[in-house]
């Protein structure tokens, strides 16, 4: 049988098809626009997601026996606010994870409601990108639209709804809404009251590997699929990427260098750090995870290369970088504000330490190192909790750079395992589909069978020592300059 994973990203939807053994048969990608109506705002049209996903599904399966497609599942950009009216029409464009308009609402939740109460209700505090602050923003600034709301959902769940007719979400994605009691895997009545919404507006909660329905008749006919194709709940993109990299079970680690950057540590037990600097979420394997998320990771490198240097040849820009651990130029990677651990939507990127002899290569190197240092900030929070992984998997577009992998390994002082397939959320979605269809008994079994490590980057003691000095300097910069933001 064949299983499809749909990765609904910020810039494109990636669709992957694999067979029962995990052999990837085909991958396709379809882009859609991103809108910035005001500085710091970020929106997309959910209808674009569906249109491109449907076209992608047709292209993905054009050359296969479509009767063999057994299940479809998802990984999706988290935290986005999608709202439908009584006619199932989208009320307004989706407000995305990297949207920074909710500063006042976030402050209200953290200071008036209080971080202690939020943590007790949801295991997390408010961040500007989370869904609950967006609901409060909409209630205040768009009361006419707010009054029309009948359904509130997350981006990937809009696809599941259009495909199956089931109003659903999964616990990993819902963890990032600030509406769910993560420890008990249910909606928080207190948070619903705070946001002025009802339980009927929210989808039914499922585990990521559970079947939520089957294809609607008209959708099956348009795609040429059987109506018996199962739709499996799926996961937030980071949890789906963790499944796709085998980061399941106790104490496993994954670093993702996508548009955003994450360090993801899986656990069989629920836990919250003292300052809520890391997110405490439910995991797609049925357990839990801690996650640090920086809003700009590979997107920093994309911005530097394409907008500033006016090139798309990323590897050529890295070829002249040879003096690792010796760079005097630093880069704060806060192009869209920052989440973990600073929780400051007003933070901004900056270079510091340049002189008349600073080279293009040094500035490119500073961008790569700045992202690594930013991820190290979250790793230090985990280490303060006694969680000290010795190795990590790595995925995302940035993970394709051998130089960046080397920098990550030495800045973090972690062995970095490189995977045979770096498809992350799309592969994780397909694996969840296989589990939901009964191909594997559980997520951990699927990961053990499918995920393969092909190389390991080992930290070099002398380089690690140099980067330790650089990191200690880097971590002093933000506290000094944050008042400027």
Q: Annotated catalytic residue: which of 170, 173, 237, 285?
A: 237
- Picking from 47, 66, 197, the residue whose alpha carbon sits closest to that of residue 134 is 197
What is the DSSP secondary structure assignment for residue 67, as one 8-state letter?
G
Structure tokens that stand for 221 in this block: 């006919």
Question: How far is Cα 289 from Cα 267, in angstroms, rounded to an integer?
Answer: 5
List Cβ neighbours of 143 (8 Å cut-off, separation of 6 or more). Answer: none
Full DSSP string of 201-219? GSPEEE-TTSEEEE--HHH
Question: How far is Cα 67 from Cα 217, in angstroms, rounded to an integer?
Answer: 15
User: Residue 230 belongs to what H/E stretch?
Assistant: strand 230-232
Backbone angles phi, psi at 261, to 5 degrees: -125, 140
Residue appearing with tokens 């928080």: 188
User: Residue 143 belongs to what H/E stretch?
Assistant: helix 143-148
Q: Give start and end residues of each alpha helix (H) in 331-452.
A: 360-384, 402-412, 425-436, 443-450
Measured in residues, the chain has a length of 485
Structure tokens that stand for 389 in this block: 């992984």
Active site residue 7: no
Ligand-binding annotation for 78, yes or no, is yes
Decide: helix, strand or coil at residue 435.
helix
User: Residue 95 belongs to what H/E stretch?
Assistant: strand 94-95
Ligand-binding annotation for 431, yes or no, is no
What is the DSSP secondary structure assignment for residue 247, as one 8-state letter?
-
Sign of the alpha-carbon dihedral angle for 63, 67, 69, 72: positive
Sign of the alpha-carbon dihedral angle for 112, 116, 122, 123: positive
Evaluate whether 302 touches 401 at the Cβ level (below 8 Å): no
Structure tokens that stand for 266 in this block: 């899986």
Structure tokens that stand for 323 in this block: 């003096």
List Cβ neighbours of 445 (8 Å cut-off, separation of 6 or more). Answer: none
Question: How far is Cα 453 from Cα 126, in angstroms, rounded to an integer?
Answer: 36
Evaluate whether 277 touches 381 at the Cβ level (below 8 Å): yes
- Picking from 309, 401, 381, the residue whose alpha carbon sits closest to that of residue 340 is 381
Binding residues for substrate: 78-79
By annotation, the residues acting in catalysis are: 237
Binding residues: 78-79
């Amino acid at each position: 049988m064949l299983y499809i994973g749909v990765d609904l990203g910020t810039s494109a939807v990636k669709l992957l098809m694999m067979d029962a053994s995990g052999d990837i048969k085909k991958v396709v990608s379809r882009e859609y626009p991103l809108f910035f109506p005001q500085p710091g705002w970020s929106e997309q049209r959910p209808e674009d997601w569906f249109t491109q996903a449907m076209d992608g599904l047709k292209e993905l399966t054009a050359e296969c026996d479509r009767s063999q497609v057994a299940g479809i599942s998802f990984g999706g950009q988290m935290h986005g606010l999608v709202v439908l009216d009584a006619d199932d029409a989208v009320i307004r464009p989706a407000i995305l994870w990297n949207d920074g308009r909710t500063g006042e609402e976030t402050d209200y939740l953290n200071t008036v409601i209080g971080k202690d109460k939020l943590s007790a209700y949801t295991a997390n505090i408010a961040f500007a990108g989370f869904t609950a602050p967006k609901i409060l923003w909409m209630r205040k600034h768009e009361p006419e639209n707010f009054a029309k709301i009948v359904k509130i959902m997350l981006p990937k769940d809009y696809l599941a709804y259009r495909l199956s007719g089931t109003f659903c979400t999964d616990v990993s994605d819902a963890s990032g809404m600030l509406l769910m009691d993560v420890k008990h895997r249910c909606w928080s009545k207190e948070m619903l009251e705070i946001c002025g919404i009802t339980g009927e507006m929210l989808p039914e909660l499922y585990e990521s590997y559970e079947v939520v329905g089957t294809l609607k008749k008209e959708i099956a006919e348009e795609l040429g699929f059987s109506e018996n194709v199962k739709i499996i709940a799926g996961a937030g993109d980071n949890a789906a990427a963790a499944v796709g990299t085998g980061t399941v079970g106790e104490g496993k680690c994954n670093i993702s260098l996508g548009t955003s950057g994450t360090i993801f540590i899986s656990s069989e037990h629920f836990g919250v750090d003292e300052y809520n600097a890391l997110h405490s979420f439910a995991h797609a394997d049925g357990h839990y995870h801690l996650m640090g998320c920086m809003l700009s990771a590979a997107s920093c490198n994309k911005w530097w290369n394409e907008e500033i240097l006016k090139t798309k040849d990323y590897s050529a820009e890295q070829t002249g970088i040879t003096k690792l651990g010796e760079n005097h130029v630093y880069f704060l990677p806060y192009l869209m504000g920052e989440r973990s651990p600073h929780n400051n939507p007003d933070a901004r990127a900056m270079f510091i330490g340049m002189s008349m002899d600073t080279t293009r290569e040094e500035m490119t190197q500073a961008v790569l190192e700045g992202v690594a240092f930013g991820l190290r900030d979250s790793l230090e929070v985990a280490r303060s909790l006694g969680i000290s992984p010795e190795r990590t998997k790595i995925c995302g577009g940035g993970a394709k750079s051998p130089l960046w992998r080397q920098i990550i390994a030495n800045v973090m002082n972690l062995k970095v395992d490189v995977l045979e397939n770096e498809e992350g959320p799309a592969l994780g979605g397909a694996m969840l589909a296989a589990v939901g269809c009964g191909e594997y008994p559980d997520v951990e079994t699927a990961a053990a069978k499918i995920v393969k490590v092909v190389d390991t980057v080992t930290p070099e003691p002398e380089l690690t020592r140099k980067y330790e000095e650089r990191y200690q300097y880097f971590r002093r910069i933000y506290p000094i300059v944050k008042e400027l933001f």
